[in-house]
Chains A and B, each alone.
Chain A
Amino acid sequence: MPLDIQAIRADFPILNRILPNGKQLVYFDNAATSQKPQCVIDAMTNFYENYNSNAHRANHTLADEASAALENARSQISNFFGAKPENLIYTSGATEAINLVSYGWARNNLDEGDVIVVTEMEHHADIVPWQELSKEKGVEVRYVPINIETFVLDMEAFEVAVEGASLVCVTHTSNVLGIRNPIEKIIDMSKKSGAAVLIDCAQGAPHEKIKFEDLGADFIAISAHKMAGPTGIGCLLTTSEKIQQMRPFMTGGSMIKKVTTDGTIFKDGHEMFETGTPRIAEAIGWGAAVGWLDQFEMKEIHEHIHNIASLAGNEMKLIPGIKIYGDPNNKDSAGAISFLHETIQSQDLAILLDEGGFAVRTGHHCAQPLMDALGVPSTNRASFWIYNTKEEVEAFVKHLRYICERFS
């Protein structure tokens, strides 16, 4: 059944916003963060208004309700991702999830001479932790290049790099190019080489149903805020086997069984890695977000985004001076289009687009190695999601063409 985009838009109060310059907001910065449906806002407000309490800490009514809501959200979210609740570790987002793998698993299981494979299209969150680990422990970090003509990962180079690897870390979908990597093949090849696999699904989860147990990765990092959930929460999905191999890198409250002056016994399983007061409101909000998303088929969401991104990309290519990075016509493309104008600097272009009400991102997108590979210091990026429309894209292209004609 086709998506009713106007009904979907009605769930997002912010989409009605008129900006201070009098323009209607057109939000094309979804790869940075998505907007939130009213049910997410209401769920978090309801928590703070009616049953705010710390969780797992007391025996009064509010504490019971908060604890139940936190764990109910865990069940909802893990179920949404095809995982068991005990395989979900709450984090502050995908960045912390990846750092948890680095500090919690890699530092205890990898040694000098071991090899970590990443790609040059990774977000910094999936590069810097491994560089730091390399400095600390002498592990080798190998970078798989992209093909700068087709903007896809060089799988021949990956095949070479994965030989003898201990850990492979790959983004599901590029936040710059919108390209979805062949993660099933990557996971398969990595496993055959004996490597553990981490998939950064921060950009993939808003566009595709991630089924943790089916995929077979050892670690999956996800952020809530890019998929209708609040900022400040995400998770690491991981196997029971890998949890057994991990040690906590943050210690203190919540994650202990017993503390004496002689030492501490930690809790088992995912509880060992959730230190301090949980992100209760955020978890409840994320639970509401996946509940909202569950009314749709993710395939329909992807198809809608792909259609408008293709339209945008094909129209933008016709504007003299505009260059597109990525391939919006690729059927797996997830709706992020990076672009530059040959003479209008990217920050100028973003500001002039903002004057028309269009919110796009400019900069290196926390992907400087990718910028180096593309030979540019920065790009502009328009990224679409479920509530964006064909009419918004047409208006955007019209305004972009006007800017290029007037300012180049």
Chain B
Amino acid sequence: MTNNWPENLEKIIQEFKDCFDSMERYELLFEYAKKNPNSLPIEEWDEENQVLGCQSRAHVECMLDESGKFLLKTGADAQIVQGLMAITAIAVNGLSAFEVAKLSPNYVEEMGLKSSLTPSRANGFLNMFRRVISEAEVLAEI
């Protein structure tokens, strides 16, 4: 699915491309974090759904909904990570697990946030994304 994003993700990518500068992009991310419709409540953060790292707390829950479609819920104390995962959830929720397992994180680069993909920001977005993909692979029985 590289560069062939789900329609609702395409709209978000364009929204970020229209931002004036990086600070406006981060401000938009903070907004997505705040209004995350797929938020994992803090009461449900536990060791099992935690993505381990040293700089911030991050949690993901992946499951299939009643119609067998992928459902991602996310929680992170860092708003940049939470915002990126909120966008990811908007993109993947409602897809098949197989489709999710094939997703690339490169949409973040198209949004102008390439630095979020660097290894030094581990337990940031990339670690959470990889966790989502591996869970999607399990759910898709790949």
Instruction: Give the dominant DSSP class at B's interface.
Output: helix
Whether A53 is near chain B, meaning CB under 8 Å from some CB there, is no
Chain A contacts of B121 at CB under 8 A? 347, 351
**Chain B residue nearest to A356 in the complex (CB):** B23
| B78 and A407 form a contact (CB under 8 A) | no
| B30 and A345 form a contact (CB under 8 A) | no
Whether A310 is near chain B, meaning CB under 8 Å from some CB there, is no
Within 8 A of B (CB), among A329-345: 344-345
Contact of A348 among B54, B57, B78 (CB under 8 A): B78
Within 8 A of A (CB), among B107-141: 115, 121, 124
**Chain A residue nearest to B114 in the complex (CB):** A20
Across chains A and B, the number of contacting residue pairs, with CB separation under 8 Å, is 41
| A363 and B55 form a contact (CB under 8 A) | yes
Whether A406 is near chain B, meaning CB under 8 Å from some CB there, is yes
**Chain B residue nearest to A343 in the complex (CB):** B79
| B22 and A345 form a contact (CB under 8 A) | no
Cα distance A352–B81 in the bound complex, in angstroms = 13
Point out which of A347, A354, A407 has the most chain B C-beta atoms below 10 A from its C-beta: A347
A345-B78, A345-B79, A347-B80 given as contacts; is B55 within 8 A of A355 (CB)? no
Chain B contacts of A406 at CB under 8 A? 23, 27
Chain B contacts of A378 at CB under 8 A? 55-56
| B80 and A351 form a contact (CB under 8 A) | yes
Whether A362 is near chain B, meaning CB under 8 Å from some CB there, is yes
| B77 and A355 form a contact (CB under 8 A) | no
Query: Whole-angstrom distance from the CB of B58 to the nearest CB of chain A?
Result: 10
| B77 and A345 form a contact (CB under 8 A) | yes
Whether B45 is near chain A, meaning CB under 8 Å from some CB there, is no
Within 8 A of B (CB), among A343-396: 344-348, 351-352, 354-355, 362-364, 377-378
Whether B5 is near chain A, meaning CB under 8 Å from some CB there, is no
| A352 and B78 form a contact (CB under 8 A) | no
Chain B contacts of A407 at CB under 8 A? 26-27, 30, 79
| A347 and B56 form a contact (CB under 8 A) | yes
| A interface size (C-beta, 8 A) | 17
Contact of A347 among B26, B30, B115, B124 (CB under 8 A): B124
Chain A contacts of B27 at CB under 8 A? 406-407
Chain B contacts of A355 at CB under 8 A? 22-23, 26
**Chain B residue nearest to A403 in the complex (CB):** B23
Whether A21 is near chain B, meaning CB under 8 Å from some CB there, is yes
Cα distance A354–B80 in the bound complex, in angstroms = 13
| B22 and A346 form a contact (CB under 8 A) | no
Contact of B54 among A345, A354, A364 (CB under 8 A): A364
Cα distance A345–B55 in the bound complex, in angstroms = 10
**Chain A residue nearest to B116 in the complex (CB):** A351
Chain A contacts of B80 at CB under 8 A? 347-348, 351
A-B CB contact pairs (8 Å), 16 listed: A344-B79, A345-B56, A345-B78, A346-B55, A346-B56, A347-B55, A347-B80, A348-B79, A348-B80, A352-B23, A355-B22, A355-B26, A364-B54, A377-B57, A407-B30, A407-B79
Q: Using a CB–CB distance below 8 Å, which chain B residues touch chain A?
A: 22-23, 26-27, 30, 54-57, 77-81, 115, 121, 124
6 A-B pairs besides A344-B79, A346-B56, A407-B26 with CB distance below 8 A are A347-B121, A348-B80, A351-B115, A355-B26, A378-B56, A407-B27
